[in-house]
Amino acid sequence: MDNTSPDTADFLHKLLSPADSLPPDDYNHHEFLKPLEFSISASVEADFLHDLDNTFLHFSKGQRNATYTEKLRHHWKVILLNLCMTMYQRHWLLVPASSKDYSQNLWPKRLGLSHRPIQQVIEVLEFNDFIKVLPGKRYHNQPVTRRIYPTLKLQGQLWPYFLSIAQPIEPPYLTVNEPEGSWKQLDLPEDHPELQEMLIINEFLKDHTWAFKGPVKLLYKHTAFQGGRLYTPFQNLPDRSVRLRINTQINGDAIGEVDFNANHLRLNLAFNGGIDAGDTPYEDIGEAAGDVTRDTVKTFITIAMGASSETIAATSCRLKKINGEDFQRLTQASKSVFPNLELFTGWGIFAQNLEGQILKQVMLEGVSKGIVCLPVHDAVAVQQQHLDWARDTMLECWDKQMESSGLARVKVDLP
């Protein structure tokens, strides 16, 4: 069954339904407009444009001339394709309402967007109950732009196109977010090893198909010594509230995901003494803390390893409903079970670097064997016939990166 077939698209849409509830309105559920295109099927794109011309464009162009009509058509295409993608992410789509955003900001210009036709598209969609609109808010430090989300009425028209839409795979494949010092001018030579590795990976991926297709990027934070996680849009498909991502396909084949277990904790202990965390490190800490659940321990460890101080960690834990008493119990239990575990020093960002290097090497091994590996945080997604290869390769690359043997653990997740 092809990944773009109506059967697959219909199945994924049914998994998503009923999706009449709105996503949470927070920064973790907001998505910027992105360049999108039809990556595979010319017939699907032709169907989309035919529907667009005979519905949305037909009823919104009025008596405008051909030049403006074509411009309006482009704006309809950008908004509808982005709404199709964000409805599967369960994210709000950010669409600026101010004319200044279209004259001063880079991304609207790159997407060829202008204020007037955008306003026209939004007004038509809202008037006809195709979208829910949340107006922008003016805050001193973090203003929130206008957010839109498709209603069931529009979702029913968009879902057949989802599997044929992709982000173009094009550089840059290596970026530094919030750069500091000399990293503000990232001007690496073309033969830089990591640039070449990311180029090899992305050139290989261009000829393959999967849902939410897009480039794989290596993202650093501040400098090229901090962060370094692999990112691709595929990661953003939901897989907890809705088991959507695991039910997609690569090149028309069912997939599985091979996950590193408690990876940042294991990386930390390997780095600080080559210590084996055992098979159940979160459960062991939870038991020592007085029967605290695995999920709570995992949340605590993630925060404690990423925070630069105990005070900052305690504040973040309270936001996750871990009170002060539980925080102290978990801190003491972690130190008791794993005395070498480094907490409250901001080590998490270095764990991202190590994890990114390991997964990048797994992907390069896959390229050499013609196997598509898609990074998913601390895991890779592969066709199910390659699960054994992925498991063995991930463990080998982990051992090589950490100069250890047998300290990592992996688990397999299937549809």
- Both 207 and 107 in a single domain? no
| pLDDT, tens digit, 9 for 90 and up, residues 245-266 | 999 999 999 999 999 999 999 9
- Both 156 and 296 in a single domain? no
Backbone torsions φ then ψ of 369, nearest 5 degrees: -110, 5
Backbone torsions φ then ψ of 230, nearest 5 degrees: -85, 140
Residue 269 located in a structural domain:
no
- Both 117 and 184 in a single domain? no
- Both 312 and 234 in a single domain? no
Tally of structural domains, the chain: 3
Residue 54 located in a structural domain:
yes
Residue 201's nearest CA partner among 238, 160, 232, 234 is: 232
| pLDDT, tens digit, 9 for 90 and up, residues 42-92 | 788 999 999 999 999 999 988 889 999 999 999 999 999 999 999 999 999
Q: Which of 144, 166, 188 is the last residue of a domain?
A: 166
CB 218, CB 188: distance < 8 Å: no
- Both 98 and 192 in a single domain? no
- Both 190 and 69 in a single domain? no
- Both 15 and 144 in a single domain? yes
Residue 92 located in a structural domain:
yes
Residue 213 located in a structural domain:
yes
pLDDT above 70 covers a percentage of the chain that reads: 91
Cis preceding linkage at 215, omega within 30: no
- Both 125 and 258 in a single domain? no
- Both 218 and 256 in a single domain? yes
* Beta strands 253-260 and 410-413, pairing class: antiparallel
Query: Residue 297: what residue type?
Result: V
| pLDDT, tens digit, 9 for 90 and up, residues 261-310 | 999 999 999 999 999 999 999 999 999 999 999 999 999 999 999 999 99
CATH of residue 184's domain is 3.30.70
Specify the DSSP class assigned to residue 184: G
- Both 107 and 198 in a single domain? no
Residue 343 located in a structural domain:
no
The tokens describing 333, both together, are: 């239990």
Residue 277 located in a structural domain:
no
Parent domain of 355: 174-263+349-413
- Both 123 and 179 in a single domain? no
pTM (predicted TM-score): 0.90
Non-local CB neighbours of 408 within 8 Å, separated by 6+ positions: 260, 261, 263, 266, 394, 395, 398, 399, 402
Residue 278 located in a structural domain:
no
- Return d(Cα 361, Cα 350) in angstroms, integer: 17
- Both 98 and 49 in a single domain? yes
Q: Which of 166, 195, 218 is the last residue of a domain?
A: 166
Q: How far is CA 385 from the centre of its chain?
A: 25
Considering only CA atoms, give the Rg of the chain. 23
* Element containing residue 398 per DSSP (H, E): helix 387-402
Residue 6 pLDDT class (50, 70, 90 cuts): low
Residue 275 located in a structural domain:
no
Q: Which of 313, 337, 361 is the last residue of a domain?
A: 337
